[in-house]
Amino acid sequence: MNTSRLFAASFAGMLCATGAAWSQAYPAKLVRVIVPFPPGGANDIVARFVFPKLTEQMGQSFIIENRSGAGGTIGSAVVAQSKPDGYTLLIQTVASHASNAHLYSKLPYDALRDFAGVSPIARVVSVLTVHPSLPARSVKEFIALAKKRPKEILHGHSGQGSFTHMNGVMFESKAGISMIQVPFKGGGPAVIALVSGETQAQVAAIGELIAHIKSNRVRPLGVTAPERISQLPEVPTIADTIPNYESSTWVSAFAPAGTPKPIIDRLNAEFGKAMKDRDIAAKLSAQTLDPAHRSPEELTQRLKSDYEVIGRLFRQANVKAN
């Protein structure tokens, strides 16, 4: 008998059995869910919709804790420095997580190495909008106007390095135009500035702008998804004018690096079940969010891709923290 093969087979079997037992025993106590932004934003909304469902499915409480500050880096650091046992999770958008890595010269964590992707939860799509006073009724007309008036159109965003800022920089790059990027302290003030005419354009999450779009206080020109969006079916895509244009992000769950794979896989499967729930899907849709369940590997790959793309954009535009 080949004793080395027998040992290898026995060891592999032991690992599988241990992994299965670990997954079945988890969670044995409440799970802390860190949202690194104040209540009311997309991350917080998604967490408060989805985690009660996971509590119901898994028989253990998931407690949401808002730890805001420094563009989401304070809460992210809490998770990165936590024990990798599945009892501390981070809810963060992939784009913001990647942006912060390039925005801040020193962070107490590495965005790629110190986190394990668990699952995307919801997709966030943005829309290019303009103040009604701007004489542009399509993406094509807007680009033509911006080329005639370089560095004149004011694009408001929710803060240096934010998803809205990234969207504005990306649109400039892809369209071959140059706007003035105007930072505000959050999405709310940036939207108010657009509605009042203080700024003329904004590429922000649909949820931040849809009420003003419906009331005709701002004019939508194009969505950043590759397909039309159910919440704004009459609005074309930017990709209709700029081929292959796409800018969306995933609100996602991350765990500290080193979290056992059976726990990651168990959580991913539970998120998958929750995303199929009609009530959850309806609640997300009402907030202009789409369920977006994918594998941990796909989430990790998306983070790496966004990390590279956003890094290039920020270097090109010389974007740094204030």
Residue 245 located in a structural domain: no
For the chain, give the percent of residues with pLDDT over 70. Answer: 92
Residues 225 and 76 in one domain: no
The pLDDT value recorded for residue 66 is 93
Alpha helices per DSSP H over the chain: 3-25, 42-58, 73-80, 94-103, 139-148, 163-175, 187-196, 206-214, 261-275, 278-286, 296-317
Beta bridge partners of residue 35, listed in sequence order: 66
Which residues are CB-contacts of 90 (< 8 A; sequence separation ≥ 6)? Answer: 33, 34, 36, 75, 76, 79, 115, 253, 254, 255
Do 50 and 121 meet the contact criterion of CB atoms below 8 Å apart? yes
Residues 189 and 268 in one domain: no
Q: Tell me the per-residue pLDDT of 28-51, one tens digit each, with 9 for 90 and over.
A: 999 999 999 888 778 998 999 999
Residues 258 and 109 in one domain: yes
The pLDDT value recorded for residue 17 is 47
Q: What mean pLDDT is reported for the chain?
A: 91
Q: Tell me the per-residue pLDDT of 109-148, one tens digit each, with 9 for 90 and over.
A: 999 999 999 999 999 999 999 999 999 999 999 999 999 9
Residues 163 and 198 in one domain: yes
What is the pLDDT confidence band of residue 311, given thresholds at 50, 70 and 90?
A: very high
Residues 187 and 91 in one domain: no
Mean pLDDT along residues 252-278:
97
Lowest mean pLDDT across 11-25, 80-94, 176-190, 271-285: 11-25
What is the pLDDT confidence band of residue 14, given thresholds at 50, 70 and 90?
A: low
Residues 76 and 113 in one domain: yes
Does position 9 have pLDDT exceeding 90, yes or no?
no
Of the three residues 181, 208, 240, the one that is the final residue of a domain is: 240
Residues 157 and 258 in one domain: no
Residues 282 and 260 in one domain: yes
CA 137, CA 38: separation in Å to the nearest integer?
A: 35
The pLDDT value recorded for residue 23 is 53
Number of structural domains (the chain) is 2
Residues 235 and 158 in one domain: yes
Q: What is the CATH number of the domain that holds 43?
A: 3.40.190.150
The boundaries of the domain holding residue 146 are 125-240
Give the residue, 184 or 75, on which the prediction is more confident: 75
Q: String of b and e for 150-174 (b: at least 16 CB within 10 Å)?
A: eeebbbbbbbbbbbbbbbbbbbbeb
Give the residue, 211 or 21, on which the prediction is more confident: 211
Does position 4 have pLDDT exceeding 80, yes or no?
no
Does position 246 have pLDDT exceeding 80, yes or no?
yes
Q: What is the CATH number of the domain that holds 169?
A: 3.40.190.10
Q: Tell me the per-residue pLDDT of 50-80, one tens digit each, with 9 for 90 and over.
A: 999 999 999 999 999 999 888 889 999 999 9
CA 207, CA 231: separation in Å to the nearest integer?
A: 10
